Structure 1
Amino acid sequence: MFLLWPIVSGLWMSLTNQSLTGSGAGFTGLSNYAEALADPAVWQSLWNTAVFTIATAAPLVVLSFVMAYLVYVGLPGQWLWRMSFFTPYLLPVSVVTALWQWMFQPGFGLINSILTQLGFAEIGFLDQQGVAMFSIVLVTIWWTVGFNFLLYLSALQNIPDHVFEAAQLDGAGPWRRLVSIIVPMVNKTTIMIVMLQILASLKVFEQIYLLTAGGPRGSTRSVLEYIYDVGFSGYRLGYASAISYLFFALIVVVAVVQLRIMNRKEH
């Protein structure tokens, strides 16, 4: 009821000119798909989504591993670091965006106030093309890195102690233990985090919509936000459904390719 019917219903809707007002619903075949493939706004939103995914995936993997490793090796005040690293992930997106909107505000915002005090010009973090996407990436990394940190910390704590004891007896230093033992033994966790991170980044919507609502000239509008705009602001549910299924097919392709690459690396 809650999985198969929405899939079938949405697929049928993508073949019609269904409107949010309830009018229309006439069968149009593949015309919505043809229009979507020729729509420059669709390609721009895909490009924005790809830029966001590339800009967030690598830092969220590397930073979370570094944070987990620092806690794992006995960073002083571990309870404080664990709480600081993970707490932002527990915040709802509305709280996160409200906090960072205040910090990014020109004039009285925290970051711009510091910049002006240091003699620098103010920056339009959320309304300046080329900067808005960087600001959203920064917010996303701060907000979500705690989840990956927790996964890495759990993986590190599951490494048997006798492996390190044997390496120490063989004269392996901290760097050699990190490169030859720790990194390979958390490889499965890394594969899982990379997969989850790429798929989550491809489906970004909330923080972009709440922070910039598409940004200047649509420079931050993701695919899901464009689908929302078309379906609920433009009332074209049929066309929005067609874009959704094209994007779904793209995500499936990315997931399959990623699985094959990761499986080869693991072997």
Structure 2
Amino acid sequence: MAFADLSRSRPVRAAGIARPSWSNLLFVLPFLLLYAGLLVYPLFQGMWMSLHDYDLLSGESEFLGLANFIKLFRNSIFLGTVRNTLWFVAMTTPAFVVLGLALALALNRASRTGAVLRFIFFGSSVLSVTIVTLVWRMVLRPDKGLIANVLEWFGLPPVPFLIDVHLALPSIAGVTVWWIVGLPMMLFLAALQQIPQEIYEAAKLDNAGWWRTLFSITLPSIKRTVILVAVIEIVLQFQLFGQAQIMTQGGPNNSSRPIVLFIYESGFRDWRLGYAAAAAQILFFLMLVAASLQLWLGRRRQGGEA
């Protein structure tokens, strides 16, 4: 009788269902601590700093509320950096998707030539921003640059790529695409190699042309990769900094100054850390909205096709 009462007092475990154990949390605890310390805490600390006039040397701060944000939206230079950054993202992200996919389609072949070309196109993406921008700065010089010498040989006048208000930012965008196009190319190559070859063989039996195969088989099979590449490049290109700082220093007349360069100059040149933190929060909001919009459009397109 006592044994029966004791068995009733114990919880009954369903067959095949293990009870949750808090000891499993120990396996993910190091990651959670690093994630909170390196990402979550700095995020909220930046939000808190954006509401203050913060002195880095003394550690003192004065609460200002939304005053920093109001000053930013009244600052014509900052509004210009927002336009420059949005225009830069609009120029580079579609180029990364289209050129990356085109290179992947052209080099998706098991040959030595294809392997060499893949290495060449991907090799530029591993170079540092300093090397790339310094080389291209010499190439784009209007006096003795490589392009200027070629134009002179054909009897044409030099083009002031980096000192013209209308050409500086597109020139930086072109250099950026040349530099990083290898990464989306490799992502598209990985996606293309996952498509079963039997589908293409069946398309050949149906006498499907190249364009029909592309739009009916290839693109629908890699649409998730297209969305992934677009989101990654949107987030990355919003953080334009090194190219603009080294090639043009934001000029001429602030025509190529991005938001990150404005944040850097406000925080580490003018020592207005609260002001710079407020600009960083606006940049974070723009990145979040742009990436979320791209994900929403991609999922809506997938739902419509389904």
TM-score grouping bracket, smaller chain normalisation: over 0.9
Contact map agreement 1:33 1:243 (CA 8 A) in 2: yes
Give yes or no for the alignment of 1:146 onto 2:210.
no
Q: Does residue 118 of structure 2 align to residue 82 of structure 1?
A: yes
Q: Give distance in 2, aligned partners of 1:93 and 1:11.
A: 29
1:71-101: per-residue Cα shift (whole Å, max 9, x none)? 1256882122111211100111111011101
Aligned amino acid, residue 55 of structure 1: M
Aligned residue in 1 for 2:191: 155
Q: What is the root-mean-square deviation of aligned Cα atoms in Å?
A: 1.6
Runs of 5+ unmatched residues, structure 1 = none
Higher relative contact order (CA 8 A, sep 6+): 1
Distance 2:45 2:220 in 1: 45
2:215 is matched with 179
Q: CA, structure 1 residues 214+20, in 2 after alignment: closer, same or farther (shift >3 Å)?
A: farther
Residue by residue, what CA displacement relative to the aligned partner does 1:147-203 show, whole Å, maximum 9, x if unpaired? 000011111111101111111122212222122111111111111111111121112
Aligned to 1:219, what secondary structure does the other structure show? coil
Give ranges in structure 2 of 5+ residues lacking alignment.
Answer: 1-36
Corresponding position of 1:98: 134
Partner of 1:249: 285
Whole-Å Cα distance in 1 between the matches of residues 183 and 270 of structure 2?
36
2:86 corresponding residue in structure 1: 50
Pick closer, same or farther for the CA change 1:129–1:20 going to 2, 3 Å. farther
Matched, 1:25 2:61: yes
C-alpha distance in 1 between matches for 2:244 and 2:238 = 12
Q: Where does 1:192-231 land on structure 2 (aligned, <5 Å)? A: 192-231=228-267
Is the Cα–Cα contact under 8 Å of residues 11 and 242 in structure 1 kept in the other structure? Answer: yes
TM-superposed deviation, 1:5: 2.4
Identity level (%): 35
Q: How many residues align?
A: 267
1:40 match: 76
Taking a change above 3 Å as real, the CA distance of residues 262 and 237 of structure 1, as seen in their structure-2 partners, is same
**Aligned match of 1:5:** 41
Task: Give distance in 1, aligned partners of 2:199 and 2:268.
Answer: 56
Task: Give distance in 2, aligned partners of 1:102 and 1:27.
Answer: 47
Measured after TM superposition, the shift of residue 255 of structure 1 is 2.1
How far is 1:7 from its partner?
2.0
TM superposition score normalised by structure 1: 0.95
Matched-pair contact (CA < 8 Å) for 1:115–1:122 = yes
Moved more, 38-47 or 170-179: 170-179
Q: Quote how far apart the aligned CAs of 1:127 are.
A: 1.5
The answer on whether the counterparts of 1:20 and 1:232 sit within 8 Å (CA) in structure 2 is: no
Post-superposition Cα deviations, 1:92-123, rounded to whole Å, max 9, x if no partner, equal 11110111011112322111111111111112
For residue 169 of structure 1, what is the aligned residue in structure 2? 205
The equivalent of 1:263 in structure 2 is: 299
- Kindly indicate whether residue 286 of structure 2 is the aligned counterpart of residue 239 of structure 1: no
Return the alpha-carbon distance in structure 2 between the equivalents of residues 47 and 63 of structure 1.
Answer: 24
Instruction: Report the secondary structure of 2:159's partner residue.
Output: coil
AA partner of residue 275 (structure 2): Y
Structure 1 ranges of 4+ moved more than 4 A = 73-76
SS at match of 2:63: coil
TM-score normalised by L of structure 2? 0.83
Q: Structure 2 counterpart of 1:189, which letter?
A: T
Question: d(CA) in 1 for partners of 2:98 and 2:177?
Answer: 11
